[in-house]
Structure 1
Amino acid sequence: MNKSKVCIMLSTYNGVKYIDEQMESLLAQHEVDVQINIRDDGSSDGTVQKLNEYAKSHPGQIRVFEGENLGVIGSFFELMRLTEAVYDFYAFCDQDDVWKPDKLSRAVTKLQLSQSNVPLMYCSSTQMVDQDLNNLNVWPTLPPKRLSMYNAMVENCCVGCTMVLNPIAFERIRGSVPIDLKPLIMHDRWIYLYVSAFGEVIFDEEPMILYRQHQGNVLGGSSEGWLMKWKNRMKRFFSEGSFRLSKQASLFLETYCEHLSAQQQREIRHFLKQLDSSWVKRISYASKMPFYRQASLDNLVLKLIYIFKKV
């Protein structure tokens, strides 16, 4: 039986410190044929030199593209453009994590169990670790609510570096990347939004990568009390909001309007239109809107930032 061919798309930027651990974990993937396409986003350390050494020692299996600094969103979409549509599956990858050896084979198995004629995306929980790979938390946990467009419009439940796409999802997203990326919050949020609207998202609660958390970046890994959690959620969501959710929703509607169902179009337009209505109407809409976050506390904050027109 032929092994599935999986293209790993890795974007790097000044990542020389941890790139060896990540590259070795990618090359050690079991039961799949791996191609690694790497785009360096203008590194100024020794990242490119290190990557070229890997490419030289693995001719044909590793390709390195050097480019100008586009930022993480632009770099990943450019990497999709540079990747040929000839593989069975396509995986996104960060530079400083470590993958378990069966990460891709497990993703492929789960994707093959679903219908192949619609956009599909696999994602998983992660084992969060510190800089020395000591375990912290498992995050995110299995979402309690459905992974639908109505969740993806206002929240991302899928960590980008765990995502694996089938060919339909890859080719359709790659072929419709907006020219102006500024309204996008992050590339993985846009991809989750697309697949949840037009296909199926498969969430694996088994952590398949070691997700390194750097100092000052312990999302999901802290043990703060409820008061601090509330304070941090409010701060994060008001910061994340600031019209970014509505701008991304507007761009998504503009980009895919003709492909969305009549109900999907109607719900997105209503979400955007009610932001310009009165306080009373915003409160009324927020209380019964179809868009939701997974956690009850997060869902309450969503309603508040909508009422305050901060989405």
Structure 2
Amino acid sequence: MPNNTLQVLMSTYNGEVYIEEQLNSIFEQSHAAIKVLIRDDGSKDNTVAIVRQYMIQYPEHIELIEGDNVGVVRSFWILMQHADRKVGYFCFCDQDDVWIQDKTSRAIQKMSELEWSKQGSEQVPVMICTATQLTNEQLEPTAIWPGPLAKEPSFYNALIQNIAVGATMCFNRRTLELVLDNGIDIELNHVQMHDWWIYLIVSALGNVYFDPSPSIFYRQHSNNAVGGEATIAEKMRKKWRSYRKHKNQKLLVKQAMEFKRIYGDCIINMDMLVQLDAFIAPRRSWIERFRYLRICRLYRQSLPENLLFRFLIMNGYI
């Protein structure tokens, strides 16, 4: 069985303003067996210098990779490739949040409950994610996001919606092996986000758990790479910008096709395969789109989101 050490995978970029608060919250966790692997994505400020000071303070617990600016998805992918395969668990981490003190102990307890087959002899992929406590730049609470899920996390959700906030995600060693050791080179350009990709994989081949109790203070500021939406108006503006930017690109279909190319042979649930094939099949006319919706079992986590999905299918966006 894997040990209970957890490795934090943190990507940094020009994070000098907030990174000390984040690192302090990591080393103040109630679960003490923590290692931190940081990859700096080409910062131009004092981020690396701050990290080096923490390496002096915690010499056995922090490693640093200095790299070029490759963006969020590739930076976290490199972190996974350099992760310590001897530890039992992993967490993604942003540079500007603050972890609630029991984040890691809660995660490890739940993962240890879910990661073994009923016979107890085979380790299965498992990941957990949680809600976040949104805050302003001064860490003053504003809202909890996302709210309670309408339906359970599943493959039928993961194909078209990501409910996994990467900064809250934890996963076990078997998940890391499944992501990296499949023998097929991945096209990262077809992956929407690293957290979404893992949700998609584990929802099909393992166990996913969503905890509605926040595990981080999710700081919202002007430099967020990805952020929560505290109001309906913010959510609608974000979706409209995304719609205009990505129209005709079929990004969700491309991600699903990449998933099938790599993991299609691993899926033993025939209904999952049927729904996957139906989702990625071309729909060239209104009649084909209407017929698809009649058999579609995919869902998002609210009625407005599901209506939007059906609209995007019918107008050919998806």
User: TM-score by structure 2 length?
Assistant: 0.90
What does residue 228 of structure 2 align with?
219
* CA offset digits 1:129-188 (Å, max 9, x no partner): 011111111001121112111100100001001001011112211224743211111111
Cα RMSD, aligned residues only: 2.1
What does residue 33 of structure 1 align with?
33
Structure 2 residue 78 is the aligned partner of structure 1 residue 71: no
What does residue 17 of structure 1 align with?
17
Instruction: Give the whole-Å Cα distance in 2 for the aligned partners of 1:236 and 1:137.
Output: 23
Structure 2 residue 168 is the aligned partner of structure 1 residue 162: yes
What does residue 120 of structure 2 align with?
none
Stretches of structure 1 that go unaligned for 5 or more consecutive residues are none
Structure 2 residue 113 is the aligned partner of structure 1 residue 113: yes
**Residues 3 and 32 in structure 1, CA contact (< 8 A), matched pair in contact too:** no
**Residues 229 and 235 in structure 2, CA contact (< 8 A), matched pair in contact too:** no
Instruction: Give the whole-Å Cα distance in 2 for the aligned partners of 1:174 and 1:195.
Output: 13
When the two structures are aligned, how many residues end up with a matched partner?
306
Q: Tell me whether 298-307 or 244-253 shows the greater mean CA deviation.
A: 298-307
Instruction: Give the whole-Å Cα distance in 2 for the aligned partners of 1:115 and 1:187.
Output: 21
What does residue 84 of structure 2 align with?
84
Q: Tell me whether 241-250 or 35-44 shows the greater mean CA deviation.
A: 241-250
Structure 2 residue 53 is the aligned partner of structure 1 residue 45: no
Instruction: Give the whole-Å Cα distance in 1 for the aligned partners of 2:115 and 2:223.
Output: 41
TM-superposed deviation, 1:289: 1.0
Structure 2 residue 271 is the aligned partner of structure 1 residue 263: yes
What does residue 93 of structure 1 align with?
93
What does residue 194 of structure 1 align with?
201
**Residues 36 and 62 in structure 2, CA contact (< 8 A), matched pair in contact too:** yes
* CA offset digits 1:186-243 (Å, max 9, x no partner): 111101101101111111111110001113866321264xxx8656545545646631
- Tell me the percent identity: 35
Instruction: Give the whole-Å Cα distance in 2 for the aligned partners of 1:231 and 1:284.
Output: 30
Counterparts in 2 of 1:185 and 1:223: CA distance versus 1, 3 Å: closer
Counterparts in 2 of 1:31 and 1:231: CA distance versus 1, 3 Å: closer
Instruction: Give the whole-Å Cα distance in 2 for the aligned partners of 1:229 and 1:160.
Output: 18
Stretches of structure 2 that go unaligned for 5 or more consecutive residues are 117-122
**Residues 278 and 292 in structure 2, CA contact (< 8 A), matched pair in contact too:** no
**Residues 187 and 258 in structure 2, CA contact (< 8 A), matched pair in contact too:** no
